Amino acid sequence: MNILFIGDIFASSGRRMVEEHLQRIIGEEKIGLAIANAENSAGGFGVTPNVAQELFGMGLEVLTTGNHVWDKREVYDFLPREPRLLRPANYAESLPGSGLWVGKARNGVACAVINLQGRVHMATIEDPFRKADELLQQIPSEVKVRFVDFHAEATSEKVAMGWYLDGRVSAVIGTHTHIPTADTRVLPGGTAYQTDCGMTGPYESVIGVERQTVIHRFLTQLPVRFEAAKGWVELHAVIIDVDEESGRARGIRPLVER
């Protein structure tokens, strides 16, 4: 089966790209499960219940997030009621929501999606490596197709997670930096990997934000109000070919729509 994962959807321009291309991609690529990171989908910062429902309505089955999931308070009550909207599992258990989804793909194959967040140059939360072990023990053994969105800053931490989970999950795909990396591959144990999937949003920007505003902040160190940039928009994603019986990835390739 083919899994589609769309990198960080940024603001309304990113959502428009998903709306314009998703159904065609699902049809042409015979996608069984469509996932996207949506932590910046509401104005570039956070996600709201309405935006999440909009994205589900476009055909996405599962939404992952990251550190910005907490930016919009209205999502706090929504997270426990919508299991398809994940937050990083290694935040405190007392916080709303879950970092694990187990369900079925369009073709009826049982699948699991895990959302984790790194700790290097990010918030000091629970260990994502040990949390990954814990979550994998919770997934029924018959669920062989297992996808991980590792939302992290440091490339070293992402690469380490890929090797740590190699052979135990179908894919480990990184998000957060909004910059697509050129290391798409299948690791020896059968885990598809990419350090960062890239962003679905405005690329005439500084990782989605109006570039002159960010430059001003670097020059002055003064606080500024970040706004989503205008200009050309790209959709960045990966398509992973997974063997349904073993859960091993047979291939992975990047996808870019302009």
Q: Tell me, what DSSP letter sits at residue 79?
A: G
Helices 155-165 and 128-138, axial angle in degrees (round to 10): 30
Q: Is 151 a catalytic residue?
A: no
Under 8 Å CB-to-CB from 41, ≥6 apart: which residues? 9, 10, 11, 14, 15, 47, 51, 52, 55
Under 8 Å CB-to-CB from 240, ≥6 apart: which residues? 2, 3, 5, 147, 170, 171, 192, 249, 251, 252
Under 8 Å CB-to-CB from 204, ≥6 apart: which residues? 211, 229, 230, 231, 232
Active-site annotation holder among 21, 68, 151, 236: 68
What is the CB neighbour count within 10 angstroms for residue 86? 28
Report residue 179 as tokens: 């910059």
> 39 with 151: CB under 8 angstroms?
yes
The number of C-alpha atoms within 13 Å of 245 and in the hemisphere containing its C-beta is: 0
The gap from C-alpha 59 to its chain's centroid, in whole angstroms, comes to 15
Active site residues: 68
